[in-house]
């Protein structure tokens, strides 16, 4: 009842009932499948999706995006790198890491 009331806040009565039915069906299906195991993340189709996610994360880390937005300027100046040189290097890294990311998504990631 509480879930249906919540759904009715954003949907009309018929849509809320249909969505609640979908949610209940999904919960029943999940319960019938049993307790998920970590191993399931690394086999079959889901394993491929996991690999794509990990690879994209590694490529994102390769762009030094955290360093770029958080600490880059102060860090670079403290070791004697000019602001212009830092911007050039960061832009080249971003560009270089974008290409493998795009290839990976096109090759593996859009098959879902």
Enter the pTM of the model. 0.43
Residue 20 has pLDDT above 90, yes or no: yes
Is the pLDDT higher at 107 or at 40?
A: 40
d(C-alpha 67, C-alpha 28), whole Å: 45
Residue 12 DSSP code? -
The per-residue pLDDT for 111 is 59
- C-alpha of 30 from chain center: 23
Region 61-79 average pLDDT: 73
pLDDT digits over 35-63, tens only?
989 999 999 999 999 998 898 888 877 77
């Amino acid at each position: 009842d509480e879930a249906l009331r919540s759904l009715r806040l954003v949907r009309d009565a018929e849509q809320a009932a249909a969505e609640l039915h979908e949610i209940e069906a999904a919960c029943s299906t999940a319960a019938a499948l049993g307790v998920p195991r970590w191993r399931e993340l690394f086999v079959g189709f889901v394993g491929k999706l996991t690999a794509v996610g990990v690879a994209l994360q590694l490529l994102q880390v390769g762009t030094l995006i955290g360093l770029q937005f958080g600490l880059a300027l102060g860090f670079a100046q403290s070791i004697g790198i000019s602001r212009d040189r830092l911007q050039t290097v960061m832009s080249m890294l971003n560009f270089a890491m974008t290409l493998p990311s795009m290839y990976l998504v096109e090759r593996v990631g859009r098959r879902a």
